[in-house]
Each structure stands twice: as structure tokens, then as C-alpha cells.
Structure 1
Amino acid sequence: MIKNEHSQSSPDQPFQPHQIVYLTCDQSRLYTEVIEVLTDRQLAWVRPLVLSTPKETLPLAAASALGWEQGAGHDAPAVPDLIWPLAQFTPALDTDFLALLTTISPPTAGAVRRDQGAVVSQFIRRLWGTRAVSPPPA
């Protein structure tokens, strides 16, 4: 679900499952899908979909999550889900995210995939450092 004027959210739960939200660090954005909001802990469980940097746009989700046919060379998620503080997410506007999706295409069969997990891990480390995020309570 992409945020629009008809999306239902409340102050207690600012995001809904399936809503697209993103994290920003420097000039990069990590677009994610909300899986669940952990309101009592002020955390969101999200699934990374796309990492957009000034140099490239990397699809991270399974093919079906990005609207591609199964077997399009990208059937499994490239990175694990995240649990991250709610306050750091921004809802994605449908025009932004849909325009981004039109710029990427499924990898061709047999194409060598970069280590997207390492790129996302680097983004998360930079974000962690710039936001001075305290680790979630155990």
C-alpha cells in the first residue's frame, strides 16, 4: 500500500501493513514495505524493496513483490527484513515510488547479481551512525 489521502493511520500507529515507507541517509533512500508495526516498542518490521542511490537503483525484494513474474531471475529477497525505529521512516508517495519502479527492470536470466546485502548493510551502518540510533531493547 502506498500512502495517499485515503490511507488510514492514527497517531498510535502511523503506518499500516503493506504501506511503502523509506529511510534516508545522505542522498540515498531505502524503500521498504511495512510488515508489522510494533507500537508498544515504537518499531516497525519492514521488508526492503529498493535501494536508490545517486549512482544506481537496486531491486532488493522478491520478483513478485516488485510486480515481476516469478522466474524473472530474482525470486528470493536479496536482503533480510529489518526492525527499525518508527520515527525514522517517511511514508512514500505513490508518484515517487511508482516512478522509481519504472526505472528498474528484472535481471536477465544468468545475470551476475552484485552483493546487494553488503550495499544495504553499508547503508544501514551509515544511517545508524548519522542518526545516533540506540539499539532496540532486548
Structure 2
Amino acid sequence: MEILLWIGILVVTTAVFIFYMFHVRFQENAEWYDDWRAPGNLWIMPYWTPAGIFGALFGLYELSGYWGGVVVFNLLRVVAIIAILMGLIGLLGLLGIPLPWPFAPRWVVERRKKDRAERKARRRRRKEGE
């Protein structure tokens, strides 16, 4: 029965990861960007679900009686390192550190540039008005 749990976790986390990578990264309308949903949609779900995928894979590996031995274990170590690095990138984004294009969707980077230019123009107008 435990194997069904790990297979279910693997399927759900993989589906969530794929959904967020292909749906959220290619938004037509980004009105929710300044909403409370933005951190979860941009940083938590796509960057932290690989940890769930790794956990499910390791659970299945353990239940199989460590099938494949050292070869499979070394592959799982690589997956774990990738999951940890992705989690750290997601944490940086969640903390508000602006990330470049490969780590943040292109429309987020463009929106940040536009917002920065608007703030700069507003500051310039305020200085000229004084």
C-alpha cells in the first residue's frame, strides 16, 4: 500500500511541476503579479516541487529494496543536488531578490524593467518639480 502512496506523490508533484512550468511561465495576462498569489505561483511551486519528486523517487527506491544498487543511488544523488539547487533559487526569488531570465519567466523580467523605468521617471519628475 505504501508503494501506491509514493507513486501518487510522484505523479501529483510531477503534474504540478509541469503545469507551473508550462502554464505560469507563459501567461498572456499577468494581473495577478502584484497579488498575494505571485510568490506561490512564481517561486514556491515550480522550484520546490522537485524536492517532492525526489522524495517520492527515493521512497520508491527504498521500497524496491534498493534495486539497481550504487548506480541508481548515484543517479538519485544527482537528482537530489538538482532539487536542492532549485529550492535555493526559489528561496532567493521568494525573498525578493530579482533573478535573471532563465530563473524567472521572461514576462516577469520585462515587467520589472517597466516598473523600474516608471519609478525612475517619477523620481525625475519629482526632482524637476522642486
TM superposition score normalised by structure 2: 0.25
Higher strand share: 1
Over alpha carbons, which structure has the higher Rg? Answer: 2
Higher helix share: 2
Structure with the bigger RCO (C-alpha within 8 Å, sep 6+) is 2
